Amino acid sequence: MIEDMKINFKLQCSAILLIAAGYGWAGGHYIPNDANIFAYLFQLVVLGILLFLALAFLSLPEKQRLSRYWPIKGLTIFSILLFVITIANTIHGAYNSRPNAFGSHNTFADLVPITFLITGSGLWLLTVFIKTR
């Protein structure tokens, strides 16, 4: 049981790192040079929410990580939204022909952060699902 908790925690930390790396990469890569300040502020707010939830999760005592405390619920909701938005962004990229448009264009450079985001959010959701069984 204790070993399962440690593995689950390591997987959850890996998921948070993948999401942060993917979102930071995507934000720097997908926002066009001529975008207004609100695009960058939105990116900062989303990363701030992720940082806040991740720090709250990491500061939970070990036994509380098994329960559904608010940081775990928040990161789960964040992961679900991120997963859906990333899939929608990938579908949008298949039809996005304007080179300076927002979002993915499904090039290799676009698919790397998308892979990080899908893997990280999927891993988080998997660890939450495994923990409830």
What are the pLDDT digits (tens) for 24-58? 888 777 777 777 888 888 888 999 999 999 999 99
* DSSP-assigned letter for residue 63: G
The structure tokens 């409830």 sit at 132
User: In the structure encoding, which two tokens stand for residue 91, read together?
Assistant: 């579908």
Q: What is the pLDDT of residue 101?
A: 66
Structural domain including 70 reads: 2-132
| Nearest C-alpha neighbor of 131 from the set 104, 46, 123, 110 | 123
| Helical residues (DSSP H) of 59-107, grouped into ranges | 70-95
Model pTM score? 0.85
Q: Within its chain, how far is the Cα of 28 from the centroid?
A: 15
Number of domains in the chain: 1
105 close to 91: Cβ distance less than 8 angstroms: no
Question: Comparing 62-76, 101-115, 118-132, which segment has the lowest mean pLDDT?
Answer: 101-115
